[in-house]
Amino acid sequence: MKNTFATLTEAFVKFKQENGSGYVPVSATIQHNGATLKIGTWAANVRYRAKQGTLSPQNKATLDGLGFQWEAASRGNTARVAEMRADREAGLSLQKIGEKHGITRQRVFQILGK
């Protein structure tokens, strides 16, 4: 069964509610309507299509309205890094922080430097 834009958009809203961010990492998956959706792959495809100019203006406007983050999170994303630092100071493991942010434990280590 092929997932429609509407279904994946609903899954994005759920992902954003659960993760507190409109940025969907490529590795992200989510349970939605009884299925595991590779929402990160979808988000990467949407970003690519937007850059190529092949994403419909209507779909782009829908995602903009929902808070879809078009640019990848980076080391310079100070709010995200601050949240990760706070989680680490609160005793969360690198693994748990990574799961929370949709990145690997190794990437958390690289970002936090510890």
pLDDT in tens, 70-107: 876 554 567 788 889 899 999 999 999 999 988 888 88
Q: Are residues 101 and 50 in the same domain?
A: no
Report how far residue 9's alpha carbon sits from residue 112's, in angstroms, rounded to the nearest whole number. 31
Instruction: With respect to residue 49, please indicate whether it lies within any of the assigned structural domains.
Output: yes
Query: 3-class DSSP state for residue 68?
Result: coil
Q: Are residues 60 and 94 in the same domain?
A: no
Instruction: With respect to residue 72, please indicate whether it lies within any of the assigned structural domains.
Output: no
Query: pLDDT band at 61, cuts 50/70/90?
Result: very high
Instruction: With respect to residue 56, please indicate whether it lies within any of the assigned structural domains.
Output: yes
Instruction: With respect to residue 32, please indicate whether it lies within any of the assigned structural domains.
Output: yes
Report how far residue 86's alpha carbon sits from residue 99's, in angstroms, rounded to the nearest whole number. 15
Position 1 pLDDT exceeds 80: no
Instruction: With respect to residue 73, please indicate whether it lies within any of the assigned structural domains.
Output: no
Query: Residue 21: which domain range?
Result: 5-66
pLDDT for 10-28, tens place per residue? 999 999 888 878 888 888 8
Instruction: With respect to residue 71, please indicate whether it lies within any of the assigned structural domains.
Output: no
**32 DSSP β-pair partners:** 35
Kindly tell me the sign of the dihedral angle through the C-alpha atoms of 107, 82, 112, 99: negative
Q: Which residue has the higher pLDDT, 63 or 101?
A: 63
Burial of 96 (0-12, 13-18, 19+ CB in 10 A): middle
Per the structure, the count of domains in the chain is 2
Q: Are residues 62 and 89 in the same domain?
A: no
Q: Are residues 38 and 82 in the same domain?
A: no
Q: Are residues 45 and 97 in the same domain?
A: no
pTM above 0.75? no
Query: 3-class DSSP state for residue 35?
Result: strand
Instruction: With respect to residue 31, please indicate whether it lies within any of the assigned structural domains.
Output: yes
pLDDT for 35-56, tens place per residue? 999 999 999 999 999 989 999 9
Residues 64 and 51: beta-carbon distance below 8 Å = no
Instruction: With respect to residue 101, please indicate whether it lies within any of the assigned structural domains.
Output: yes
Lookup result for tokens 């595991």: 36
Q: Are residues 30 and 62 in the same domain?
A: yes
